[in-house]
Amino acid sequence: MELRDSVIVVTGGGSGIGAALCHRFADGSPRHVRVVDRDREGAEAVAASLRAGGVDATASALDVTDRSAVEELIGGIIGDLGGIDLFCANAGIGTGAGADADDEVWDQAWQVNVHAHVLAARALLPYWLDRGRGYLLTTASAAGLLTNLGDAPYSVTKHAAVAFAEWLSITYGDRGVSVSCLCPQGVRTPLLFGSLGDGALATEVVKAQRILEPEDVAESVVEALGAGRFLILPHAEVADYELARASDRERWLRAMRRLQASLGSP
Ligand SMILES: NC(=O)c1ccc[n+]([C@@H]2O[C@H](COP(=O)([O-])OP(=O)(O)OC[C@H]3O[C@@H](n4cnc5c(N)ncnc54)[C@H](O)[C@@H]3O)[C@@H](O)[C@H]2O)c1
Is the minimum distance from the CB of 205 to ligand 1 under 6 angstroms? no
Q: Which atom of ligand 1 is nearest to the CA of 214?
A: 16
Is the minimum distance from the CB of 157 to ligand 1 under 6 angstroms? no
Task: Please choose from 15, 41, 157 the residue to mutate so as to test ligand 1's pocket, defined by most ligand atoms within 8 A of CB.
Answer: 15
- pLDDT band with cut points at 50, 70 and 90 for residue 180: very high
88: left (phi over 0), alpha (psi -120 to 50) or beta: beta
Q: Are 263 and 201 in contact (CB under 8 A)?
A: yes
Query: Which residue's CA is the closest to the ligand 1 atom numbered 2?
Result: 187
How far apart CA 140 and CA 116 sit, in angstroms, is 12
Is the minimum distance from the CB of 190 to ligand 1 under 6 angstroms? yes
Three-state DSSP class for residue 199: coil
Residue 195 has pLDDT above 60, yes or no: no
Output the CA–CA distances (angstroms, integers) from residue 13 to 83, 161, 187, 264, in the order listed. 19, 18, 15, 34
Distance 12 CA to ligand 1 centre (A): 6
Is the minimum distance from the CB of 17 to ligand 1 under 6 angstroms? yes
The confidence score (pLDDT) of residue 192 equals 86
Q: Are 152 and 98 in contact (CB under 8 A)?
A: yes
Three-state DSSP class for residue 8: strand
How far apart CA 266 and CA 260 sit, in angstroms, is 9
Q: Are 60 and 44 in contact (CB under 8 A)?
A: no
Residue 197 has pLDDT above 60, yes or no: no
Q: Average pLDDT, stretch 245-249?
A: 98
Entry field: residues in the chain: 266
Question: Taking the domains of the chain in order of start, what are their residue ranges?
Answer: 7-263
| pTM (two decimals) | 0.96
Distance 26 CA to ligand 1 centre (A): 20
Q: Is 135 a catalytic residue?
A: no
Distance 197 CA to ligand 1 centre (A): 15
Q: What is the pLDDT of residues 52-86, one digit of tens each?
A: 999 999 999 999 999 999 999 999 999 999 999 99
Output the average pLDDT for the chain: 94
Distance 130 CA to ligand 1 centre (A): 31
Is the minimum distance from the CB of 196 to ligand 1 under 6 angstroms? no
Is the minimum distance from the CB of 189 to ligand 1 under 6 angstroms? yes
Q: Average pLDDT, stretch 15-33?
A: 98
Is the minimum distance from the CB of 192 to ligand 1 under 6 angstroms? yes
Residue 46 has pLDDT above 90, yes or no: yes
7-263 belongs to which CATH class?
A: alpha beta
Strand partners for 181: 138, 231
Q: What are phi and psi of 11, to 5 degrees?
A: -85, 150
Q: Are 155 and 196 in contact (CB under 8 A)?
A: no
